[in-house]
């Protein structure tokens, strides 16, 4: 039976890339549809009427929204290369850190790099505190998944890709060798993977995007 898999995406979304990596790891053939978020397609609005955001996966005509739920769907649908651990407690632990990564780590890191003033100061404190938990979780392991990448590596993969770019774009240096040795080693191991070398957003374009964001916040603060 021919399968039809379509991914509604944008080139720069960290939530999209984890889905791309999962599909590639599983060897699932799919069609990419690039969305213009300033002019959302009728398909995106129809498939994700509540959040109206990417990624959306459409499999044989049925859509799934929200990236962590898409990852679970992909893992439950295509059995090659399991993403989540088999053991129920290990599975719960991966899900706990994935939720923590999206609820706490991502927003605090984002604001710490891209905003200004008091908002940035507070976010930096939170970001460093949140990243320390991630550092602890990595101690003694090559990847969150052990010897090879799994669910949580994909969920936190944006950190490996975007942090260097954010540091280049903003001149800030938050993740240092002294404080986050395991995280830095993981970033190196993760970005060295052929899968990631071949599938990531173009860095120059990302740097420009982040510089524009920083300038727009600065201009807003100055006006």
Interface with its own copies (CB under 8 A), residue from 23, 44, 64, 159: 64
Tell the smallest beta-carbon distance from residue 59 to its own copies (Å): 7
> Measured from the CB atom, is 52 or 95 closer to its own copies?
95
User: If you ran DSSP here, which 8-state letter would residue 50 be given?
Assistant: T
Can you say how many angstroms the Cα of residue 181 is from the centroid of all Cα atoms in its chain? 21
Q: Which of residues 105-164 bind its own copies (CB under 8 A)?
A: 133
Tokens, residue 15: 């939530």
Tell the smallest beta-carbon distance from residue 86 to its own copies (Å): 10
Identify which of 60, 62, 70 has the alpha carbon closest to the alpha carbon of residue 21: 70
**Is-contact 144 97, C-beta < 8 A?**
yes
Tell the smallest beta-carbon distance from residue 170 to its own copies (Å): 27
> Measured from the CB atom, is 101 or 214 closer to its own copies?
101
- CA 60 – CA 126 distance, rounded (Å): 42
Identify which of 58, 67, 134, 60 has the alpha carbon closest to the alpha carbon of residue 96: 134
95 touches its own copies by CB under 8 A: yes
Residues 6 or more apart whose CB falls under 8 angstroms from that of 122 comprise: none
Residue owning tokens 């984890």: 18
Tell the smallest beta-carbon distance from residue 62 to its own copies (Å): 5
Among the listed ranges 93-101, 117-125, 169-177, 185-193, the one in contact with its own copies (CB under 8 A) is: 93-101
List the Cα angle 15/18/22 in 5-degree steps. Answer: 145
Q: Which of residues 73-92 bind its own copies (CB under 8 A)?
A: 73, 76-77, 88-89, 91-92
Q: Which residues bind its own copies (CB under 8 A)?
A: 50, 59, 62, 64-66, 69-70, 72-73, 76-77, 88-89, 91-92, 95-96, 99-100, 104, 133
């Amino acid at each position: 039976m021919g399968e039809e898999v379509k991914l509604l995406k944008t080139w720069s979304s960290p939530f999209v890339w984890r889905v791309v990596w999962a599909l590639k790891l599983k060897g699932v053939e799919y069609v990419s549809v690039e969305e213009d978020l300033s002019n959302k397609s009728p398909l995106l609005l129809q498939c994700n009427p509540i959040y109206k955001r990417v990624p959306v996966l459409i499999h044989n005509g049925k859509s799934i929204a929200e990236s962590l739920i898409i990852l679970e769907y992909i893992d439950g649908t295509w059995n090659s290369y399991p993403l989540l651990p088999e053991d129920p407690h290990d599975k719960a632990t991966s899900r706990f850190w994935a939720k923590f990564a999206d609820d706490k780590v991502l927003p605090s890191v984002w604001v710490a790099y891209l905003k200004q003033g008091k908002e940035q100061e507070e976010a930096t404190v939170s970001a460093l505190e949140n990243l320390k938990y991630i550092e602890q979780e990595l101690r003694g392991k090559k990847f969150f998944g052990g010897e090879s990448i799994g669910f949580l590596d994909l969920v936190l993969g944006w950190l490996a890709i975007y942090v260097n770019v954010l540091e280049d774009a903003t001149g800030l240096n938050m993740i240092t060798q002294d404080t986050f040795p395991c995280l830095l080693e993981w970033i190196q191991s993760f970005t060295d993977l052929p899968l990631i070398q071949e599938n990531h957003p173009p860095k120059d374009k990302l740097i420009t995007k982040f510089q524009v964001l920083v300038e727009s916040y600065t201009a807003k603060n100055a006006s």
